Structure 1
């Protein structure tokens, strides 16, 4: 295992730099924007901008790489991402931050796809599953470390913006140091909603609702924390704990979804999320201990649902179509991510901080209702035809190239991760 990872160390470091910078940049903006007096509506639009850029990056990067190559494209992505961070520091206004955030989303998606393409090219068949598992864990910890680094200083200055820009530049090292041949062309995924819906209506509707809910929380969690009086270090914990809880929860949730009907498991997990949503609404302005406990329960449920949805969709898909189906769902998730932060931001501006969880709760309730209706009208997939549950990174940090890395190149199905 160590021998297979050593040649990939530079690429894993490059991915870690990307996720560290992305985590830091994604949290410093709402924290600083709240301190500058931005409305929740304008801060929600930051998440909308990011999602638009991210989806565009997933769709457009393969064409860009085909024109100018991997190394030039990657260098441009990292450089523009660093410039975008510094521009946010120079021009502190939401009308600059929103389009700049969209640019950051495009560059982040593009740079991640290129690193993953390189990693996919160099991963040996016998260790691909384990490499994907290590890659997932590296990204998880790097993103969390980026968010938690906010506890080390003052968010009102320029330091964290500069650090994020520097780390984006450090991500250039893997391609600069790589002596391997240029990877194959990047994975392209088209969005065919009609085909996805025919494959699994529950998966399409549910992943859209999850996009609304998760992007709303990811964008506005820091704003909620600031408005209920959390300190900067507690806001960083409030944003990081649910990610870690969701990663841990994928283990028991994945076991249950392989053993029982996935739609029932999805409904059960969504019910837990609704309970967490309701507790946040009823608590008003909870104290530090209660709010961190509630957000752990929230994260364990909301961030464990996406892999169940993908597994359910692939149960109904043709063999070898994992990348096409999962990539399509990823783009639907992105569409939900465009809508969610805007709705939640305007709701928080009009009715207060707790309405963040009202918007999220409505998305979860709609998911449950639709899944129950489908349960009553369509039969479950026979156990023998079910694919294996595949734990993975958060949807908002996945790209089509992530899915290619997770799949067996011969069968097109996801690899197991022993």
Structure 2
């Protein structure tokens, strides 16, 4: 029993190392790039590159692991991620940083999936919910710590690049000390757009718009902060506060969405997100306290949308497809994450830093309008037919394996065997809401 708990703690520590290094890397690049005079367009393309790599990693890692095994694949992912960070320091140019950032996204997704697979293997049915909750909190704390550590040094030096590379290497420890047999094959999903649209048009469209909005902010928040004159400490807070606020709001939002029409709850929180967009546009960034306060409102809303969307999609999913639907929606989120930073970066380069929130605002308007149209066309799901809402990590910190780790035993029993899953399978029901 003690040995099992120790191995679980080691895996959680490995995940914390991954997310800490990812937090450092995701914030140091835009801050350093801004200091080096990179354009907002090229800095936006860093987010696009990362999203392309992340989606590719989610799709390709299962087959890679099937060929070379979990331990070798994990070691390669961590080593390449460390090399990518150091290469960003050696060649400070966007033409190197953009493809290297894509490589980082691929490795980050693959390493996270393998750690989650190991956690899945070690987690008993009776403790699955508790372990998933701890895993989510550990990742949230590690990401926030990785971003906040930038306040302790000079972003123009080499320290934070080396730190991120070192911590990626430390993430190798869980597999090095694990004596478990090889875990089951990784969760494998396909980007079956027709199937996801048929399951729930509003979930499909909403998660695409949330991908545009959240990835735009996640990539360019530091650039916005630098261009309106925030200090390095305030920039770190500006990037971190929204994540914490989004995590805190998931509990009341989840309670509301279990009791009410999830589509109306989604419209409500998107309306508050749109309010934050407008306030950013009209406030003129007059005071750091105002900016940080608005960032809390923005983050509390935009980072609590994704679990509502997943819950709504699963309300309509056929038994045996929950994990596939959740994983598919994550990939659609990734598609939005590819588009959003590019558009937002171009807008900031041509119309000023506040245009970041014009892009997020337009995405939120589209989401609200589409949701209103769908509400008029389809009745709500009855309360007794809803699946239980489950708080989730930010979508950009999730993989298809996260959906499997977070599933309860009934869902796992109902789902197709993961190692034999038909990744092109689609729900058989007609188009729903």
- What TM-score do the two structures reach when normalised by structure 2? 0.94
In the other structure, the counterpart of 2:208 is: 208
Partner of 2:15: 15
Q: How does 1:227-242 map to 2 (within 5 A)?
A: 227-242=227-242
2:164 is matched with 164
TM-aligned CA deviation for residue 6 of structure 1:
3.6
The superposition leaves residues 175-227 of structure 1 with CA deviations (integer Å, 9 ceiling, x where unpaired) of 00001111011110011111111110000000000000000000000000000
In structure 1, the gaps of 5 or more residues are none
Q: Secondary structure of 1:412's partner? A: helix
TM-fit CA distance, 1:400: 0.6
The secondary structure found in structure 2 opposite 1:198 is: helix
Shift of 1:52: 0.1
Looking at structure 1, the residues matched to 196 and 44 of structure 2 have their Cα atoms a distance apart, in angstroms, of 28
Work out the CA distance in 1 between the residues paired with 2:101 and 2:363: 25
Checking the alignment, whether the CA contact within 8 Å between 1:5 and 1:131 is kept in structure 2 is no
Give distance in 2, aligned partners of 1:266 and 1:195. Answer: 22
Return 5+ residue gaps in structure 2 as ranges.
Answer: 415-433
Give me the whole-angstrom Cα distance separating, in 2, the residues matched to 1:3 and 1:75: 23
CA drift of 1:322 comes to: 1.2
TM-score normalised to structure 1 length: 0.97
Give the secondary structure class of the aligned counterpart of 1:110: helix
- Match of 1:338? 338
CA distance in 1, matches of 2:32, 2:143: 19
Distance of 2:413 and 2:343 partners within structure 1: 36
Q: Distance in 2 between matches of 1:80 and 1:17?
A: 15
2:210/2:336 contact within 8 Å kept: yes
Work out the CA distance in 2 between the residues paired with 1:400 and 1:358: 31
> 3-state SS of the aligned residue for 2:285?
coil
Partner of 1:271: 271
Equivalent residue, structure 1, for 2:247: 247
Q: What is the CA-CA distance between 1:410 and the residue it aligns to?
A: 4.5
1:67 maps to 2:67: yes
Does the CA-based 8 Å contact 1:228-1:286 persist in structure 2? no
Give 2:77's aligned residue: 77
Aligned-partner Cα distance in 2 for 1:175–1:6: 13
2:40 is the alignment partner of 1:36? no
Return closer, same or farther for 1:3/1:268 CA change in 2, 3 Å cut-off: farther
Matches within 5 A, 1:105-124: 105-124=105-124
Question: How many residues align structurally?
Answer: 414
Question: Which residue in 1 is equivalent to 2:387?
Answer: 387
Aligned 8 A contact 1:322 1:413 in 2: no
Partner-residue secondary structure (3-state), 1:379:
coil
Could you tell me which residue of structure 2 aligns to residue 189 of structure 1? 189
**Are 2:353 and 1:361 aligned?**
no
8 Å Cα contact 1:148-1:237 kept in structure 2: yes
State the alpha-carbon separation in 1 of the partners of residues 175 and 4 from structure 2: 19
For 2:180 and 2:369, the matched residues in 1 are separated by 51
**Does the aligned pair in 2 maintain the 1:46–1:97 contact within 8 Å?**
yes
Q: CA deviation at 1:382?
A: 1.0
Question: Aligned in 2, Cα 1:124/1:206: closer, same or farther, shift over 3 Å?
Answer: same
Change (3 A) 1:254 1:3: farther
How far apart, CA to CA, are the structure 2 residues paired with 1:2 and 1:366? 52
- What is the rounded CA distance, in whole Å, between the counterparts of 2:147 and 2:373 in structure 1? 39
Deviation at 1:2, TM superposition (A): 9.3
Q: CA RMSD in A?
A: 1.3
Separation in 1, partners of 2:322, 2:243: 25
SS state at 2:154 partner: coil
Deviations 1:325-373 (A, max 9, x none): 1001000000000000000000000000000000000000000000000
CA deviation profile, 1:302-338 (whole Å, cap 9, x unmatched): 0000000000000111123210110010000000000
* 1:117 aligned counterpart, secondary structure: helix
Contact 1:321 1:412 in 2 (8 A): no
- State the Cα distance separating 1:283 from its structure 2 match: 1.0
User: Take 1:104 and 1:154, find their aligned partners in 2: how far apart are those partners?
Assistant: 23
2:100 is aligned to 100
The equivalent residue for 1:327 is: 327
4+ residue segments displaced more than 6 Å: 1-4
320-329 or 87-96: which moved more?
320-329
Question: Are the counterparts in 2 of residues 40 and 346 from structure 1 also a CA contact under 8 Å?
Answer: yes
Question: Is the Cα contact below 8 Å between 1:321 and 1:413 reproduced in 2?
Answer: no
Q: Does the CA-based 8 Å contact 1:4-1:127 persist in structure 2? A: no
